Structure 1
């Protein structure tokens, strides 16, 4: 008979082995996508609105689950007011008026949903499509790298109310937790698309967890400067970038998921992650921190049924793009089904100093046509030698999605964690 200590050791060994195998990509002992996410939002009837949200909110205000709200035009929360949204509340963005919710600098949003009762922002059209309404804009007073440490967002909004940036790294813009944002990113005439969720100058006391963006016509998550943490983010079938970091963002993102579709893209660029420090050098103060992103346990996957064919036809591009003067540290993550996995700006000189700022460690590169390249250069031998070094513990495989993930095809309850035992491929 085995001793109790032997049995305990065996149980612990099994538990730790399972955790070790699942530690790449999104992770958890349970599937944290259950209950609060929705991968077929166009099939849901949220009911007719009975309350109107319009104009300016200048005093503390609470929205209740018992009501259905129609968001009309640009709604600004101002005067340091707090907008509180009860779990389970539905806010419906109006198509005709390009609805958008703007939390101005100094104001706060408390949208603290529950796993079994998420808060939902969606479209009012009978046939819902990406870009039906604007999106959510949250403006804070944490540092950015632009000159004077301030800027403003446009999208046709009142620029006197859309400034962001400051000196308060520890500022608090509120809570977004268990929130879904669907069919946002409307194109503004003469301007760019809204982004589903724009976080500009957000401080690190803000709580941002369990947020799902589905079918955005603009970027799903756009982050301008600030110092913030993102946990359990989901971007599903965005037309543009899933995550864009810019203007000196200091961000840690953990345990998050991107699902891209080959046939849902934009001519302006569609990447899982876009990391840059500026659009134009002349607008930047280089004495300030430039963009730095630390990403851990992410899963980036193309859901194509025939990845090879889609790559051949040019429908699939790179998963990640990194521009000059930005730092990116990517660990224990999965990139599956892209062409290539990573693309570096041609302005980045390939030397040890720069590559120390762009790290890929304990990665799982799967079914990608090439791993890491420099823009406009098909010869990536130096990069392959660098990141293929055994000290980085990167793994390479050629498995289809059904073999790679626990439950890839179930639209109701998908599970995008790696299958047990999948990380057995050689790192040669």
Structure 2
């Protein structure tokens, strides 16, 4: 009996309680280091972990995180990211009261690569090709014919301070990056917090995302290309503070597609004093469509995309900006861009072209305003709170 009691005492000393980055104190009972590659199914129970390196979930393998865990990187150790290869699965079982938080020790935007997922759902990249190579530093192939690809289930997940280049990557990564991810994947109640690039970026694919917050990311709140065509997206909330470019940057890699994504219940806000990420880059619009970008958006609230002065020049923001003549001809005039029930405030223009030669006139029924639009409707709680401050402002 004494041996049993002594053993329990040792276990109690090992499994100590910790406090997550949420306001709620949870009994994190496990600590450990996460390294890759992940070659066998594994579940990380409630705990506080360190993610070290570019951790890749291999094809055929499922990695699971239980609710309430905090996973921290340290940029001083080198490149860090969590990568789901095509055929692998990431299951994150967060809850509203106990989200799963991925963060970085220094709390400096752009300190790690975030969550990157690959699939084999359809894409159309530049030149209309159906496969391409990622620009995230992993240089992995993406694209295929499996529209129902399933990369797992991400529920109540927050990614903080991402946006780092990996290896010799040509651009920064995002908080969440989805390469040809399919409709079998669940993306629900996600938060992209204070990253150095986009909050979310889709490179083609058919996946949809619901209940998503993009807060304080230096580039765009939401971004996509390569013919992304998710159809069941709702409740997107973007709030740009300090630095920020477009609320949504929308392009289709110069492909005049017959399809387009659909998003209902959207809020895009820009705080007073928010400046573009880079001086001279006049990216201050709520929606920017370029390179044949398109989409169907309804119940939209836009606020704060007004004038921006740089030196002696004042630039005027717009709720909707059409960047090039081809997009205006094929997508606007072709009724492939639709924004209805849109409420606009503190914004210089409702609709504009990037130059005076681009005259934008939406066909009947393709653009409408409504002062009663509500935008995104999201619940408050630990999942949407950082440092005691609600992100839903």
Q: TM-score range by the shorter chain?
A: 0.7 to 0.9
2:98 to 92, 95, 117: 117
SS at match of 1:256: strand
Kept after mapping to 2: 8 A contact 1:344/1:374: yes
Q: Say whether 1:412 aligns with 2:392.
A: no
1:237 to 216, 223, 246: 216
Q: Say whether 1:69 aligns with 2:45.
A: no
Cα pair distance change 1:165/1:55, threshold 3 Å: same
* RMSD between superposed Cα atoms in Å: 3.2
Q: Distance in 2 between matches of 1:53 and 1:186?
A: 19
Kept after mapping to 2: 8 A contact 1:60/1:82: yes
Deviation, structure 1 residue 346 = 2.0
1:204 to 155, 180, 183: 183
**Residue 116 of structure 2 corresponds to which residue in structure 1?**
137
Q: Distance in 1 between matches of 2:330 and 2:370?
A: 22
**Residue 348 of structure 1 corresponds to which residue in structure 2?**
326
Cα pair distance change 1:99/1:358, threshold 3 Å: same
Q: Deviations over 1:67-114 (max 9, x none)?
A: 321111111110310001111111112212121011000000001211
Q: Say whether 1:150 aligns with 2:131.
A: yes
Query: How many equivalent residue pairs?
Result: 338
Unaligned runs of 5+ in 2: 1-20, 306-316, 373-379, 381-385
Deviation, structure 1 residue 351 = 5.3
Kept after mapping to 2: 8 A contact 1:72/1:94: yes
Q: Say whether 1:272 aligns with 2:247.
A: yes
Kept after mapping to 2: 8 A contact 1:248/1:290: no
**Residue 304 of structure 2 corresponds to which residue in structure 1?**
337
2:269 to 301, 304, 307: 301
SS at match of 1:251: coil
Q: Distance in 1 between matches of 2:217 and 2:246?
A: 9
Kept after mapping to 2: 8 A contact 1:149/1:165: yes
Q: Distance in 2 between matches of 1:192 and 1:315?
A: 19
Q: Distance in 1 between matches of 2:259 and 2:79?
A: 31
Q: How does 1:16-415 map to 2 (within 5 A)?
A: 50-65=31-46, 67-96=47-76, 97-125=78-106, 128-146=107-125, 149-157=130-138, 159=139, 162-188=140-166, 191-252=170-231, 253-261=233-241, 263-265=242-244, 270-278=245-253, 289=257, 292-304=260-272, 317-338=284-305, 339-348=317-326, 350=328, 354-355=332-333, 356-377=335-356, 383=361, 386=362, 392-395=367-370, 412-413=389-390, 415=392
Q: Distance in 2 between matches of 1:392 and 1:83?
A: 43
Cα pair distance change 1:136/1:391, threshold 3 Å: closer
TM-score, normalised via structure 2 length: 0.77
> Higher strand proportion, which one?
2
SS at match of 1:149: coil
Deviation, structure 1 residue 413 = 3.9
Q: Deviations over 1:146-198 (max 9, x none)?
A: 355222324333x3xx3221111112111011000001111447531111111
**Residue 424 of structure 1 corresponds to which residue in structure 2?**
none
Q: Distance in 1 between matches of 2:54 and 2:336?
A: 40
Q: Distance in 1 between matches of 2:252 and 2:208?
A: 18
Q: Distance in 2 between matches of 1:415 and 1:131?
A: 23
Cα pair distance change 1:246/1:351, threshold 3 Å: closer
Cα pair distance change 1:156/1:200, threshold 3 Å: closer
Unaligned runs of 5+ in 1: 1-40, 398-405, 417-428
**Residue 19 of structure 1 corresponds to which residue in structure 2?**
none
Kept after mapping to 2: 8 A contact 1:226/1:248: yes
Kept after mapping to 2: 8 A contact 1:100/1:133: yes
